[in-house]
Amino acid sequence: MIKDMVLSEKVGVKDMKSARIQEIFFRFTQMFVLITLGLTGSYSAKCKEGMWVPTMLKTREADMLREGLQIPTEMLYNETGTGLNNAVVLFGKGCTGEIISDKGLVLTNHHCGYGSAQRLSSPDKDYFAYGFWAMHNDEELPCPGLTVTIVRKLIDVTADVLGGIADTASDKLRDSIASKRILDLEAKYRKNYATDAMVKPYYQGNKYWMILSDTYSDIRLVGFPPNGIGAFGGDDENWVWPRHTGDFSMFRIYAGKDNKPAPYAKENKPFKADKFLEIKVSGYKKGDFTLVYGFPGTTNEYTYSGELKQVVEITDPIAIAARTAKLGVWQRHMTADRSIFLKYTSKYAGVANGWKKWQGEIKGLKDADAVGHKKDFENTFDAWAQQQTKNKVYMSLISRMEKATAPTDSIVYADQLQRETVTGIEIVQIAAIADKILGCMRTNLTDSAFTDTVKKIGDELAGFYKNYDAPTDKDVFAALMKMYFAASPTYVSPQIKDALQNAGGNVQAWGDKIYRTSVLPYTEKMATMLKSLRKSDSAWITGDPAWKIFIALQRATKSTIAPQLSEYAKEMKYLRRLYMEGQMEMAGDKTLYPDANLTLRVAYGKVGGIQAGKSKKQGIYQTTLGDVVALDDSTKASFKVPQKLKELYRSKDFGRWAEGGEVPVAFTASNHTTGGNSGSPVLDSRGRLIGLNFDRAFEGTMSDYWFSEKVCRNIAVDIRYVLFITERFGGCGRLIDEMKLIED
């Protein structure tokens, strides 16, 4: 029946007849394609790789049918407003969510809602320790600054952006013309469609799509499990499999009287969603088709081997080492003081996430010899380039990229070291804001304009100070500055060297003096200073020891690192575009998926465990609540199971969410995902929600650069665990009542 196919939607008789005709036609087409392909065809690794723009799905339909898709791709995306794209949302600035009721209820990851929960938490309202559940709509908490974006339509505007630009045009001229055309197009589409309109580049700027969307800014927190569920396992389990984390949270979109985006207002009503996901509660089995819909952030699948080598040998190792030091300091202070924990927990999670991921990325890339595979492909490309006669520029591409990349190792090293050490210190980040104030002092702003600007900067700083602790930052300063001076003396700023020597050459003593004499780490002092600040009061900034570090670093960067990196980036931007263009031509009739760029994409694969190695984890593709309880450890904060959850397990009070006497918690599948896919819906063959994507397996994090069928797995929370925690643990059955549950 139509209601079982993809989504709950409000349809009239005419729409239902149209959908029925579409379904009958699809079934006939599906049968024909399957017969043509053969039902016993082998399962290609490449079929699981890729993050496809929804408008491309028609080119993938035959392959998706063979893998198990049971609905037409037009139901996943179309331009009539009835596609699945209307139920998948960009949550905030870098996560995905999905609408799961006609009242605008949004499901996303716990870690995606972490920042909002932190801003709403306080020592007497500690949502990380106890969770949060709104028992009525009027208890749902506004989240200032949080947005949810729904993509309505995607339009290929490549011809409008690039048409008529000569192949011989310089990159500077090409970009200038394209940028002007993009601004004009966005203005035109905003006016004609009365929606947000944004043009994004794909394939290294070889293609462009217009994205029409609606962005809602009145978003309210509805449900947030405590860390003992939503962040269970902590860093130990992050980026690994098996996982035992209930990584979910719930929010609600509120809209104005016309159901359109509106700023927060008490009288706003829950968003009326014509399209929302049905939820399948009867589970899945190994080998079942799955589909992930969401907003993957950044991948570099087509990168040159020399750049990938720098990732493996330079940028990732430096970031890991620096963040190991920073996280160690933060952890020590957070453990000693709960108020420090509340200030730093969201920042800690963000820093630790990349830190652990890059470790898996290096291991995966090395184990797979990804750099070697890239070189092999480049040899193949070069051979093809020499034979083709259409575009002679391809013939020298590989040698030109090698020539551009080879001399840059030392400058890439120095740049990454500065970014992860000196600019990773929060007092230096505050100094950068102080430098903005100094810049205002040196302009022709009127007194009133200057006062307004300083007030805005002060408001920005107030938000920063809410989650800042000077003694903690002072210890980070000592740890990271020691690393900075030890690792790259060639690129250390002479002024910073002199400052250290003037402090006796002792980094710890130097840090003590800076944090004792600088005004920047102290919110009350800064607030008082900014309140009566005049344009002539620049001495307090130029005399501040933290600002002196910032400006010394800026000068050193501008004189040494920046010019070389700028030339390198300029050359590689041009060469990457040509290399991508060449790869697309070399592929012929085969469609290549574009790298992720935080736009709507579809990936598909199958439920299953990891195949690589001799690990006992090979056969495991699902974990259960029993596994969670077995890991309970009262001596380790990240493995403390909430008492109520243990009681529910002991009483076997699972309700309708059990399978085989257990509540499923998490599962793995072979969908190609990356950052930004956090919170993405994992759908079954008919588009029903079965899980919530939140992670990847350790070595499989290399999939941002190199996809391997054996180790690349996405990890999802089972939707039944989400519902079990919401109803039985959170006592918020009212939310379940909003949803449409499907048993088969």
Query: What does pLDDT average to in each consecutive run of 10 residues of the chain (744 residues)?
Result: 32 36 42 37 51 96 95 93 94 97 98 95 94 98 97 97 92 95 98 96 98 98 98 94 97 97 97 97 96 97 97 97 97 96 92 95 96 98 93 95 96 94 96 93 89 90 93 98 86 85 91 95 90 88 94 90 94 96 95 97 95 60 97 94 97 93 97 97 98 95 94 96 98 98 92
Could you report the per-residue pLDDT of 689-741, keeping only the tens digit for each? 999 999 999 999 999 999 998 899 999 999 999 999 999 999 999 999 999 99
Tell me what pLDDT residue 617 has. Answer: 56
Tell me what pLDDT residue 24 has. Answer: 40
- Judged by DSSP in three states, 623 sits in strand
Residues 6+ away with beta carbon under 8 Å from 75? 5, 6, 22, 82, 83, 84, 687
Q: How far apart are CA 222 and CA 206, in angstroms?
A: 42
Residue 681: which H helix or E strand, with range? Answer: strand 681-683
Find the largest Cα–Cα distance for the chain: 83
User: Closest by alpha carbon to 652, among 581, 550, 728?
Assistant: 728
- Judged by DSSP in three states, 402 sits in helix
Could you report the per-residue pLDDT of 481-532, keeping only the tens digit for each? 999 998 867 778 888 888 898 888 999 999 999 999 999 999 998 988 888 8
Q: How far apart are CA 117 and CA 136, in angstroms?
A: 18
Helix 426-441, helix 447-466: angle, nearest 10:
170
What is the token pair recorded at 533? 């600040």
What is the token pair recorded at 2? 């139509």
Tell me what pLDDT residue 29 has. Answer: 43
Fold that domain 1-147+217-298+595-744 belongs to in CATH: Thrombin, subunit H (2.40.10)
DSSP letter for each residue of 287-347: T-EEEEEE------TT--HHHHHHIIIIIHHHHHHHHHHHHHHHHHHHHH-HHHHHHHHHH
User: Closest by alpha carbon to 714, among 294, 320, 118, 359?
Assistant: 294
Q: How far apart are CA 62 and CA 69, in angstroms?
A: 9
Burial (CB count <10 Å: 0-12, 13-18, 19+), residue 693: buried
Tell me what pLDDT residue 612 has. Answer: 53
Tell me what pLDDT residue 41 has. Answer: 33
* Residues marked as catalytic: 111, 247, 678
Burial (CB count <10 Å: 0-12, 13-18, 19+), residue 288: middle
In whole angstroms, how far apart are CA 174 and each of 156, 162, 186, 205, 208?
19, 8, 18, 10, 14
Q: How far apart are CA 585 and CA 540, in angstroms?
A: 59
Q: How far apart are CA 174 and CA 162, in angstroms?
A: 8
Half-sphere exposure of 429 (CA within 13 A, CB side): 16
Tell me what pLDDT residue 394 has. Answer: 96
Q: How far apart are CA 330 and CA 126, in angstroms?
A: 19
Alpha-carbon torsion 381, 384, 385, 390, what sign?
negative
Give the start-to-end residue ranges of the domains of the chain. 1-147+217-298+595-744, 305-573
What is the token pair recorded at 354? 């990349």
Residues 141 and 120 sit within 8 Å (Cβ to Cβ): yes
Residues 432 and 550 sit within 8 Å (Cβ to Cβ): yes
Could you report the per-residue pLDDT of 528-585, keeping only the tens digit for each? 888 888 888 889 999 999 999 999 999 989 988 999 999 999 999 999 999 999 999 9
Alpha-carbon torsion 78, 81, 83, 87, what sign?
positive
